Amino acid sequence: MKKKVIIVDDSQTIREQVGVALRSHGFDMVDAVDGVDGAEVIRRTPDAALIICDVNMPRRSGLQLLDDLRKDETLKRIPFLMLTTEGQPELIDQARRNGAKGWLVKPFKPELLLAAVRKLTA
């Protein structure tokens, strides 16, 4: 059975790039367009193996989404990987304190993304 990965990003291009990289290596993708949509999609997909999320999005940021999900006992077990243009150490520290398992900076190399996804879904 293919592992499901949820990508939450307001950029359609990034969602497509992540989808191409992961589908070609046997993963199923579910996508969401922002943090509010992401919360809904994640709640409808509790069997997800991983959430990949941008930080800066309209309506709800990736850090707000991460914080909300970590309060939900049924969803907090899903690993959370931040994929963003941001690289400030204080944001990375905040994400890790809130339970993020990794942080990749855009533009990303597909092989690095795939390595992180494989590690976090193993």
Per-residue pLDDT of 27-75, as tens digits, reads: 999 999 999 999 999 999 999 999 999 999 999 999 999 999 989 988 9
Predicted model pTM: 0.95
Domain 4-121 has CATH 3.40.50.2300: yes
Question: What is the spatial distance between Cα 26 and Cα 39, in angstroms, rounded to a whole number?
Answer: 24
Q: Could you state, in order of their start, the residue ranges of all structural domains in the chain?
A: 4-121
21: left (phi over 0), alpha (psi -120 to 50) or beta: alpha
Per-residue pLDDT of 35-47, as tens digits, reads: 999 999 999 999 9
